Amino acid sequence: MNVKAVIKKYTMVIALVAVFALFAFLTQGRLLYPQNMSNLMLQNAYVLVLACGMLLCILTGGNIDLSVGSTVCLVGALAVKLLQVTSLNAIVVILICLAVGAVIGVWQGFWIGNIHIPPFICTLAGMFLFRGLGRVILASKTIAVSDKLFLNIFASYIQIPGLDNEKKWSALIVGIAVAVILLITLFTGRASKSKKGYTLEPLAPSLLKMVVIAALVVFYSNKLANYKGIPVMLLWVLAVVFIYAFITSKTAFGRYFYAVGGNEKATKLSGIDTKKVYFMAYLSMSFLAGLSGLLMAARIGSVNGDTGSSFEMDAIGSCFIGGASAYGGSGTVAGICIGAIFLGVINQGMSIIGLDNNWQYIVKGAVLLVAVIFDVVSNHKTGKAG
Amino acid sequence: MADSILVMKDITKEFPGVKALDNVNLEVERGEIHALVGENGAGKSTLMNVLSGIYPFGTYTGDIVYNGEECRFHTLRDSEEKGIVIIHQELALIPELSIAENMFLGNERKGRLGIDWDRTYHEARSHMDQVGLRDSEHTLIKDIGTGKQQLVEIAKALAKNVRLLILDEPTSSLNEEDSRMLLDLLLEFKKQGMTSIIISHKINEVAYVADKITVLRDGATIETIDNSQRNIDEDRIIKGMVGRELSDRFPKREHHISDEIGMEVKNWTVHHPVYTEKIVDDDISFYVRKGEIVGFSGLQGAGRTELAMSIFGHSYGTGITGQLFIDGKEVHLRSERQAIEAGLAYVTEDRKGNGLILPQTVAVNNTLARLDKVCGFGGVIDTVKENMVAEEYRERLKTKTPSVQQLAGNLSGGNQQKVLLSKWMFADADVLILDEPTRGIDVGAKYEIYCIMNDLVAQGKSVVMISSEMPEILGMCDRIYVMNEGKMVAEMDVADATQEKIMAAILKSEKTENEGE
């Protein structure tokens, strides 16, 4: 692979590195403080989770879900209300809330998939509906969470007594272990491939890539170790990301989302139930929005009527910055994660510098536009404008 | 020295990695109809795109002399100003706008304030009369058939004061009758002094209409044949195109038709999905034996595609009644999935529109209809197996693609068709309905598709071929059904069938209506 192809393939990674370096410089290294590195993750947990769901919607043909911010509010409100007024165990509350998220998904998926209501309109309606319902549950108040178990499940840090003291060694140990496992899987994978007689890619590039990833894992886990250790929220996010990465890249179920976005009629004539594909996209989206609602409630410690507002835009922005096609049919979970982290770094960096909120919007908007322009121009070069 | 309206000299055009045109020469005399023929990828369309400024001056080398002056077109508009108008294979009309609005799109008749609609409709009327289009100028494009849409395109060109009309595969989606009408229109224009260049795969049409025929092969001019006496031998043209003698356009096959019936349809009636009272297919019955190729002939709008799709898991139509037997057992197929599981395949006529996923790879397309066959536990795709499957079909069907990881959209028409066939062969169908399987592909690829069909029936499968090209129906099928306006009007054995008999069957059934859909 020549340099040009590498640059094209890893454009967003390179851009992420550049933006990270820029803000590390502008903040005089404060961005790299363990606390900030840990928060970078926690503050963007909801974006990563929502972006995974949004990717499935966008894959089906550039369709988006505008209602996710409101669903976050509704489910979050339900959780805090149930914890406040009932004596239900936190785990029961969590299950109820996730079920409600799924029910909202069934509602939207039914209208969009089976009745063919345009997703934009259906989810716009949902945006008002669920926001309103959330506020009704909250009775226009802010409700705080005090349930220990609930907070522990989502917002605590992993601490192993005896091992973790000033430095949270558990984080570093896990990080190193993951790095080693990554490197081992690279070699075992190659070994099994060569045993079956398949052609192997050259070792150097894939090894380099894996070494870089492993180094980043160790670097980041060391940062976590120097702060409070591994946040439980990170585990939730990683679980969602890995499940969605697996579904989209490895399963037949995931393949259908790409197929519908690539050519819906051809997909239907291939015997695939396209209604079900739409249904599942919106079901999964609302379910993840419900999960995000719980994550947010635990992270902030309270829920009010504005919780989750404009979250859908962060999720949609991450997808498009991360290379998902606005017309559907292409995009990867790895890509949208980079997009989400990219947005997160910009947010965090600007907050540390002390740039006010209004400017953050301007910068985010510009970045989104530039990313999409770049994608369109580099992928649809026709040799001629227009 | 002849009076040449256009001389293209030593045109060379390169794309990254490919030389699409290599010192091509083309000379067109004023007032003639000049045909440009060649296999897919020979460079015909590229040459016309160079001429019309779609590939601007500077991206190619060579000279274009038009009306005695050297031209350097930078945009399509530059060439249109000189009276060169190109009509592409995929029509550029907007379905929701009227005929008149489409005709003057981008070329609006402006009044003092905005568009002068009176003038627009008046001029539209006169151009429509020139091409013999009798519909109202207010009719929406979506409400007229492809044949008439083609006429609108020509009227649109007339509105631009066309002097040199270029038609890229104008008849590829037309039936024989509409095609003939279009060609006669060109001959009529010729009498009035217009010059046309026609790109076509249909050799008989070229022989009928063209004064001169230039053959392109692999991006180079092979020869220009004179046909002013209309005495050219079709095989002579084909020889130039493929560079070899194609002694028989249809491969021979040994007939092993079994007595067993693969699929039988009885009293099948289908209603239109939107206008539900309208009957699209009326009480159709037919059968196909194992090892047999059955042809469906008829004009466009005869209801053949609709019939096929309604059989294929009710993917078209409403109010479907009738019985369907596969392998002797009655089946009720309510979805495409059930149809596939019952051993049925419908290979669409519209490979780009609803056949292939163009932005996906050959391998992904190949397995889409039966993805479960390459899946392991829990629906996890075995990509290695998937690629091996695609590789196997690539070799079997001789699909020309650099790899099975190539995007389907990057392949030529004939190779896309092979990928589409691969997909349905992989789906293990016993009864294959092929809808216009050779539309828009070149002679060589057609021959290969025919060979594949012969292979399929040799394996004891049943093939139903819907085709608007009569020579192909007569050359390939064992038995022929003729449909017209939703009704089955004739069934004949290939031994008794001729083009005239098929046409007669269609025309005899048309007593009240004078026009198909």
DSSP collapsed to 3 states, chain A: CCHHHHHHHCHHHHHHHHHHHHHHHHCCCHHHCHHHHHHHHHHCHHHHHHHHHHHHHHHCCCCCCCCHHHHHHHHHHHHHHHHHHCCCCHHHHHHHHHHHHHHHHHHHHHHHHHCCCCHHHHHHHHHHHHHHHHHHHHCCCCEECCCHHHHHHHHCECCCCCCECCCEHHHHHHHHHHHHHHHHHHHHHHHHHHHCCCCCCCHHHHHHHHHHHHHHHHHHHHHHHCCCCCEHHHHHHHHHHHHHHHHHHHEHHHHHHHHHHHCHHHHHHCCCCHHHHHHHHHHHHHHHHHHHHHHHHHHHCEECCCCCCCHHHHHHHHHHHCCCCCCCCCCCHHHHHHHHHHHHHHHHHHHHHCCCHHHHHHHHHHHHHHHHHHHHHHHCCCCCCC
Nearest alpha-carbon partner for A63 in A117, A125, A127: A117
B513 three-class SS = coil
B23 with B92, same domain?
A: yes
Evaluate whether residue B252 is within a structural domain: no
Residue contact B360–A259, C-beta within 8 A: yes
Per-residue pLDDT for B392 more than 70? yes
Lowest mean pLDDT among A45-59, B103-117, B422-436: B103-117
Mutation choice for A interface testing from B336, B383, B423 by most A CBs within 10 A: B336
Evaluate whether residue B249 is within a structural domain: no
* CB contacts < 8 A (A, B): 84
Within a 10 A sphere around the Cβ of B40, how many other Cβ atoms? Answer: 17
Evaluate whether residue B499 is within a structural domain: yes
B339 touches chain A (CB under 8 A): yes
pLDDT given for residue A224 in this prediction: 92
Per-residue pLDDT for A381 more than 50? no
Confidence class of residue B41 from pLDDT cuts 50, 70 and 90? low
B76 touches chain A (CB under 8 A): no
Give the whole-number percent of chain A exceeding pLDDT 70.
Answer: 97
Mean pLDDT of A294-310: 94
Evaluate whether residue A199 is within a structural domain: no
Evaluate whether residue A173 is within a structural domain: no
Evaluate whether residue B471 is within a structural domain: yes
Continuous H helices in B342-459: 362-367, 383-397, 413-426, 443-458
Residue A263: which of B357, B380, B384 has the nearest Cβ? B357
**B35, B206 Cβ separation under 8 angstroms:** yes
Residue contact A255–B371, C-beta within 8 A: yes
- Give a three-class secondary structure readout of B260-302: CEEEEEEEEEEECCCCCCCEEEEEEEEEEECCCEEEEEECCCC
Evaluate whether residue B351 is within a structural domain: no
pLDDT given for residue B245 in this prediction: 56
Mean pLDDT of A115-143: 95
pLDDT given for residue A21 in this prediction: 93
Q: Which residues of A touch B337 (CB under 8 A)?
A: 271-273
B375 touches chain A (CB under 8 A): yes
Mean pLDDT of B286-298: 94
Mean pLDDT of B42-53: 87
Confidence class of residue B165 from pLDDT cuts 50, 70 and 90? very high
Residue B380: which of A196, A251, A262 has the nearest Cβ? A251
Give the whole-number percent of chain B exceeding pLDDT 70.
Answer: 96
In chain A, which residue's Cα lies nearest the Cα of B373? Answer: A252
Residue B381: which of A251, A267, A272 has the nearest Cβ? A251
Question: Residue B312 maps to which CATH number?
Answer: 3.40.50.300
Q: What is the pLDDT of residues A324-363, one digit of tens each?
A: 988 888 899 999 999 999 999 998 899 899 888 888 889 8
B115 with B38, same domain?
A: yes
Lowest mean pLDDT among A277-286, B311-320, B405-414: B405-414
B335 touches chain A (CB under 8 A): yes
Lowest mean pLDDT among A51-60, A191-200, B129-138, B337-346: A191-200
pLDDT given for residue A385 in this prediction: 32
CA distance B216 to chain A (A): 25
Kindly report the pTM of this predicted structure.
Answer: 0.81
Per-residue pLDDT for A288 more than 90? yes
Burial (CB count within 10 angstroms: exposed 0-12, middle 13-18, buried 19+), residue A32:
middle
- Rounded CA-CA distance B253/B432 in Å is 18
Mean pLDDT of A298-311: 94
Listing from the earlier edge strand, what are the strands of the sheet with B212-217? Answer: B84-87, B164-168, B195-199, B33-37, B212-217, B220-226
Taking only residues 82 to 141 of chain A, the set having a beta carbon closer than 8 angstroms to any beta carbon of chain B reads: none
CB-side neighbour CA atoms (13 Å) of B381: 23
pLDDT given for residue B17 in this prediction: 62
Residue B368: which of A270, A329, A383 has the nearest Cβ? A270
Residue contact B357–A267, C-beta within 8 A: yes
B308 touches chain A (CB under 8 A): no
Lowest mean pLDDT among A230-239, B200-209, B354-363: B200-209
**Whole domain around residue B374: which residue ranges?**
356-427
The strand pairing partners of B26, in sequence order, are: B8
ipTM for the predicted complex comes to: 0.84
pLDDT given for residue A384 in this prediction: 31
B331 touches chain A (CB under 8 A): no
- Rounded CA-CA distance A48/A234 in Å is 10
Distances (CA, A) of B439 to B40, B234, B352, B494: 12, 19, 12, 21
pLDDT given for residue B427 in this prediction: 94
Burial (CB count within 10 angstroms: exposed 0-12, middle 13-18, buried 19+), residue A10:
middle
Confidence class of residue A101 from pLDDT cuts 50, 70 and 90? very high
**Tokens (6 digits) for A287:** 């379910």
B189 touches chain A (CB under 8 A): no
B264 with B328, same domain?
A: yes
CA distance A362 to chain B (A): 34
B114 with B183, same domain?
A: yes
Q: Which of B405, B427, B449 is the last residue of a domain?
A: B427
- Rounded CA-CA distance A111/B25 in Å is 59
Residue contact B381–A255, C-beta within 8 A: yes
**B469, B435 Cβ separation under 8 angstroms:** no
- Mean pLDDT (chain B, rounded): 88
Evaluate whether residue B348 is within a structural domain: no
Residue B380: which of A250, A273, A329 has the nearest Cβ? A250
Q: What are residue B65's phi and psi, to 5 degrees?
A: -115, 120
Mean pLDDT of A287-311: 95
B378 with B238, same domain?
A: no
- Rounded CA-CA distance B199/B45 in Å is 8
Distances (CA, A) of B160 to A333, B123, B193, B201: 50, 11, 16, 27
Residue contact B371–A384, C-beta within 8 A: no
- Rounded CA-CA distance B202/B184 in Å is 15
B250 three-class SS = coil
Burial (CB count within 10 angstroms: exposed 0-12, middle 13-18, buried 19+), residue B185:
middle
In chain B, which residue's Cα lies nearest the Cα of A270? Answer: B369
pLDDT given for residue A56 in this prediction: 97
Burial (CB count within 10 angstroms: exposed 0-12, middle 13-18, buried 19+), residue B455:
middle
**Whole domain around residue A35: which residue ranges?**
3-156+231-377
Evaluate whether residue B91 is within a structural domain: yes
Evaluate whether residue A322 is within a structural domain: yes
Mutation choice for A interface testing from B316, B371, B384, B407 by most A CBs within 10 A: B371
Per-residue pLDDT for B517 more than 50? no
B59 touches chain A (CB under 8 A): yes
Residue A384: which of B56, B378, B384 has the nearest Cβ? B56
Per-residue pLDDT for B409 more than 60? yes
Question: Residue A110 maps to which CATH number?
Answer: 1.10.3470
- Rounded CA-CA distance B462/B262 in Å is 6
- Give a three-class secondary structure readout of A173-236: HHHHHHHHHHHHHHHHHHHHHHHCCCCCCCHHHHHHHHHHHHHHHHHHHHHHHCCCCCEHHHHH
Per-residue pLDDT for B178 more than 90? no
The strand pairing partners of B223, in sequence order, are: B215
CA distance B78 to chain A (A): 15
> Which residues have C-beta within 8 Å of that of residue B13, sequence separation ≥ 6?
B19, B20, B21, B43, B46, B47, B50, B55, B59, B60, B61
Residue contact A272–B348, C-beta within 8 A: no
| Residue tagged 């049925």 (tokens) | B344
CB-side neighbour CA atoms (13 Å) of B146: 16
Q: Which residues of B touch A267 (CB under 8 A)?
A: 357, 368
Mean pLDDT of A10-21: 87
Residue A269: which of B315, B364, B381 has the nearest Cβ? B315
B29 with B162, same domain?
A: yes
Residue B354: which of A259, A269, A272 has the nearest Cβ? A269
- Rounded CA-CA distance B307/B328 in Å is 20
CA distance A81 to chain B (A): 38
Residue contact A330–B337, C-beta within 8 A: no
Per-residue pLDDT for A83 more than 90? yes
Confidence class of residue B246 from pLDDT cuts 50, 70 and 90? low
A381 touches chain B (CB under 8 A): no
Evaluate whether residue A283 is within a structural domain: yes
B490 three-class SS = strand
Confidence class of residue B113 from pLDDT cuts 50, 70 and 90? confident
pLDDT given for residue B228 in this prediction: 84
A190 touches chain B (CB under 8 A): no
B319 with B370, same domain?
A: no
Q: Which residues of B touch A251 (CB under 8 A)?
A: 375, 378-381
pLDDT given for residue B2 in this prediction: 67
Q: Which residues of B touch A270 (CB under 8 A)?
A: 336, 340, 368-369, 423
Angle made by CA atoms B30, B33, B34, in degrees to the nearest 5: 95
Confidence class of residue B244 from pLDDT cuts 50, 70 and 90? low
Residue A258: which of B346, B360, B375 has the nearest Cβ? B360
B66 with B176, same domain?
A: yes
CB-side neighbour CA atoms (13 Å) of A265: 14
Evaluate whether residue A339 is within a structural domain: yes
B149 with B83, same domain?
A: yes
Q: What is the pLDDT of residues A256-280, one digit of tens each?
A: 999 999 999 999 999 999 999 999 9
- Rounded CA-CA distance A81/A353 in Å is 37
- Rounded CA-CA distance A375/B289 in Å is 53
Q: What is the helix, strand, coil percentage profile of chain B, to 5?
A: 35, 25, 35
**Tokens (6 digits) for B101:** 């609005």
Nearest alpha-carbon partner for A299 in A152, A133, A136: A152
B204 with B279, same domain?
A: no
B481 with B511, same domain?
A: yes
Per-residue pLDDT for A380 more than 70? no
B297 with B367, same domain?
A: no
- Rounded CA-CA distance A272/B379 in Å is 14
User: Domain count of chain A?
Assistant: 1
For every residue of B356-383, DSSP letters joined together read --TTSBHHHHHHGGGGGGGB-GGGBB-H
Mutation choice for A interface testing from B59, B76, B310, B368 by most A CBs within 10 A: B368
Evaluate whether residue B379 is within a structural domain: yes
pLDDT given for residue B281 in this prediction: 93
User: Domain count of chain B?
Assistant: 3
Q: Which of B183, B208, B242 is the last residue of a domain?
A: B242
pLDDT given for residue A220 in this prediction: 93
pLDDT given for residue A278 in this prediction: 97
Residue A266: which of B340, B355, B378 has the nearest Cβ? B355
Q: Which of B427, B452, B487 is the last residue of a domain?
A: B427
CA distance B187 to chain A (A): 35
Confidence class of residue A8 from pLDDT cuts 50, 70 and 90? confident
Q: Between these two residues, B247 and A242, which has the higher pLDDT value?
A: A242
> Which residues have C-beta within 8 Å of that of residue B139, sequence separation ≥ 6?
B98, B99
